[in-house]
Chains A and B, each alone.
Chain A
Amino acid sequence: NAGVTQTPKFRVLKTGQSMTLLCAQDMNHEYMYWYRQDPGMGLRLIHYSVGEGTTAKGEVPDGYNVSRLKKQNFLLGLESAAPSQTSVYFCASQKEGGQGVEAFFGQGTRLTVV
């Protein structure tokens, strides 16, 4: 039972390059989220999805796009990477069931943009 798996775990990009981060969950959860973690700022929501084929913007969506073509996968894309996007990215999933349900997190992707 893998839970939430993120690929890749580390990546270094040059400014202007593009990449896609993959999140896969095997718990049949409806909701999936992408957060970024920066020192002293906690985790901030980038984009989220409440079901297959649906996505929505979170707190800090600029410079990112997402897709959820399959229920188990949630992709985060950077079309033209900028140094401000250097961060640790976490994917999370949550089963539908109201506000009292906990989320499960992947191990993170450490991205450096130079």
Chain B
Amino acid sequence: AQSVAQPEDQVNVAEGNPLTVKCTYSVSGNPYLFWYVQYPNRGLQFLLKYITGDNLVKGSYGFEAEFNKSQTSFHLKKPSALVSDSALYFCAVRDILTGGGNKLTFGTGTQLKVEL
């Protein structure tokens, strides 16, 4: 089965500084990787995905992620953090279901806190 790991429960960064939220993956075959963000009392919102092609993927709200096959990582990045980026971030990998279709397998989430 496919899996992802988010080694940090929380990341703190000052506004204006670059941010990185880490994710590593374990898959058999080609990885289909996603980042989602969850604001308080809200559902998950899609940020970006890696399917194939360029290792640097650009997404919503100025976020980007770098796919690194040798390190089996898919870290989320932003050059300049905003206080409004404070939220819970989930890395996920697509996994095939035995009954057909596919599902997202999520990491445990990383709480990002951006301070003034």
Contact = CB atoms under 8 A, between A and B. Distances in A.
A105 B45 contact: yes
B22 interface: no
A31 B42 contact: no
Given A40-B108, A42-B109, A48 B90 contact: no
B48 to A, nearest CB: 9
B101 A105 contact: no
A4 B106 contact: no
Interface in A58-114: 58, 90, 92, 98-100, 102-108
Contacts of A30: 101
A41 B45 contact: no
Given A42-B107, A102-B49, A107 B100 contact: no
A108 B38 CA distance: 11
Contact of B43 (A50, A90, A99): A90
B22 to A, nearest CB: 15
B87 to A, nearest CB: 14
A27 interface: no
Interface residues of A, number: 26
A58 B42 CA distance: 23
A16 B102 CA distance: 33
A56 B100 CA distance: 9
B102 A99 contact: yes
Nearest to B108: A42
Contacts of A42: 90, 106-109
A45 interface: yes
Interface stretch (B63-71, B72-80, B91-99): B91-99
A56 B42 contact: no
Interface string A22-35: 00000000110100
Given A31-B101, A42-B107, A104-B46, 5 more contacts: A48-B99, A56-B99, A56-B100, A103-B46, A108-B43
Interface of A: 4, 30-31, 33, 40-43, 45, 48, 50, 56-58, 90, 92, 98-100, 102-108
